[in-house]
């Protein structure tokens, strides 16, 4: 009789530069970590081979492979419903990549694959401020864009094809800026790193407002923040404009979902938060459906940014049925 309950999972976070592998216990403690350089593996077969070796070695060195229940992976443009990375713009592997099935066949354990936003929401639900919440939205602000996922009645709403929650590609301006998705006016083109820099550039072209940014060697998020901290009127306007559009975007989202909370997370949020948050909240209240206006909490994530995706991936690992080639 095999009645042993396996108490650990593997969480894997794949980004364009680094793939982080962690052994995680039931309570979300990271027991051990390792990493490989994603960009070194131009073929998916060599990546899966290297990843499998590291996963097995890390498990063997930390409590044994036999104690690993399953594996969760987080990757850009990943689809939980198909287990594939689908047409990821920045990754070395093009087209449809059946990564979950490839890793499962290689290491003999159940493997689940989700995108950054889905894993981030699962991490918040399992170990973060959304713990115990049934209906909530997470919005992830990273330099490259805006990811999102929402839970409805305790379950992540993935959509019919697995692409729900794409608030970054919700249109905020008819005929607006060209988006990387091929359409125009997407919210992401205004509130991502490139969008904020473009706003600064456009304000410099369209207005005569004096600004230290006009003499800056390079326009970056940091230089625009720095200028705003020095009371530069143009830089302050950049953050106001960004905050208004983000506020409208999340107000529309909240009016549809009616969440208990909106949890904001991601690598740039702590940096940009102090500069535009009052505007975001003000705009949100102005535009959200009246009956929920004062009920929705907008909160910052408490999950450590460096651990967010790997913990989210570990939470995903618990969602798949246990399976082993070696039973």
Mark the segment that binds Zn ion (CB under 5 A) among 118-126, 152-160, 182-190, 234-242: 182-190
Query: Measured between alpha carbons, how far is 326 from 137 in angstroms, rounded to an integer?
Result: 39
Q: Are 197 and 272 in contact (CB under 8 A)?
A: no
Taking CB atoms within 8 Å and a gap of at least 24, the contacts of 102-106 are 102/44, 102/45, 102/48, 103/48, 103/51, 103/52, 103/55, 103/71, 103/73, 104/71, 104/323, 106/48, 106/49, 106/52
Contact pick of 69, 169, 275, 308 for Zn ion (by CB under 5 A): 169
For Zn ion, the closer CB: 133 or 181 = 181
Strand order in the sheet with 111-114: 30-37, 18-25, 8-14, 68-74, 111-114
Of positions 156, 179, 219, 263, contacts Zn ion by CB under 5 A: 179
Nearer to Zn ion, 186 or 276 (CB): 186
Measured CA to CA, the distance from residue 187 to residue 129 in angstroms comes to 25
The smaller minimum CB distance to Zn ion, of residues 13 and 189, is found at: 189
Between residues 16 and 170, which has the closer beta carbon with respect to Zn ion? 170
- Taking the complex as a whole, the smallest distance from the CB of residue 172 to Zn ion amounts, in Å, to 10
Tokens representing 166 are 């794409």
Cα dist. 85→96, 141, 151, 256, 271 in Å?
6, 21, 22, 28, 30
Which region among 30-38, 111-119, 166-174, 318-326 touches Zn ion (by CB under 5 A)? 166-174
- Cα dihedral sign for 85, 87, 88, 90? positive
Can you tell me which of 16, 56, 181, 269 binds Zn ion, judged by CB under 5 A?
A: 181
Write the CA distances from 170 to 102, 184, 186, 266, integer angstroms: 33, 10, 5, 19
Binding residues for Zn ion, total number by CB under 5 A: 4
Nearer to Zn ion, 169 or 308 (CB): 169
Q: How far is the CB of 168 from Zn ion (least distance, A)?
A: 7
Shortest distance, position 195 Cβ to Zn ion, whole Å: 11
Which residue, 186 or 298, is less far from Zn ion as judged by CB?
Answer: 186
Shortest separation between residue 35's beta carbon and Zn ion, angstroms: 31
Query: Pick from 233, 231, 302, 290: which is nearest to 264 by CA?
Result: 302
CB closer to Zn ion, 186 vs 213: 186
Q: Which stretch binds Zn ion (CB under 5 A): 153-161, 183-191, 228-236, 289-297?
A: 183-191
**Does 308 participate in binding Zn ion (rule CB under 5 A)?**
no
CA–CA dist 211, 171 (Å, integer) = 30
Count of beta carbons in the 10 Å neighbourhood of residue 195: 20
C-alpha dist (Å) from residue 327 to 23, 60, 68, 108, 109? 21, 17, 13, 10, 10
Stretch of residues binding Zn ion (CB under 5 A), selected from 49-57, 155-163, 181-189, 257-265: 181-189
Select the span of 33-41, 145-153, 184-192, 216-224 touching Zn ion (CB under 5 A): 184-192
Closer of 129 and 179 to Zn ion (Cβ): 179
Which listed residue (21, 84, 186, 236) binds Zn ion by CB under 5 A?
Answer: 186
- Chain residues in the site for Zn ion (CB under 5 A): 169, 179, 181, 186
């Amino acid at each position: 009789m095999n009645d042993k309950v396996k108490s650990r999972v593997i969480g894997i976070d794949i980004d364009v530069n680094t793939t982080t592998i962690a052994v995680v216990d039931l309570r979300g403690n990271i027991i051990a970590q390792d990493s490989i350089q994603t960009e070194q593996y131009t073929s998916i077969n060599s990546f899966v081979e290297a990843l499998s070796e590291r996963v097995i070695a890390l498990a063997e060195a930390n409590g044994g492979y036999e104690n690993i229940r399953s594996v969760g992976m987080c990757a850009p443009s990943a689809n939980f419903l198909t287990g594939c990375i689908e047409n990821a713009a920045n990754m070395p592997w093009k087209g449809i990549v059946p990564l979950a099935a490839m890793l499962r066949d290689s290491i003999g354990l159940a493997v689940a694959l989700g995108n950054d936003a889905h894993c981030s929401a699962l991490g918040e639900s399992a170990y973060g401020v959304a713990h115990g919440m049934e209906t909530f939205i997470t919005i992830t602000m990273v330099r490259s864009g805006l990811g999102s996922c929402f839970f409805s009645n305790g379950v992540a709403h993935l959509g019919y094809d697995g692409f729900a929650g794409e608030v970054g590609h919700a249109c905020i301006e008819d005929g607006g800026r060209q988006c990387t998705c091929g359409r125009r006016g997407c919210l992401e083109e205004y509130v991502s790193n490139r969008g904020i820099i473009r706003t600064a550039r456009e304000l410099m072209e369209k207005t005569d407002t004096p600004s230290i940014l006009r003499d800056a060697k390079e326009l970056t998020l940091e230089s625009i923040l720095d200028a705003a901290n020095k009371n530069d009127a143009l830089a302050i306007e950049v953050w106001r404009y960004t905050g208004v559009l983000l506020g409208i975007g999340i107000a529309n989202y909240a009016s549809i979902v009616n969440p208990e909370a909106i949890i904001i997370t991601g690598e740039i949020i702590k940096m940009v938060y102090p500069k535009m948050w009052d505007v975001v909240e003000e705009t949100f209240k102005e535009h959200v459906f009246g009956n929920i206006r004062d009920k929705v909490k907008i909160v910052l994530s408490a999950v450590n940014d460096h651990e967010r995706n790997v913990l989210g991936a570990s939470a995903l690992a618990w969602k798949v049925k246990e399976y082993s080639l070696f039973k």
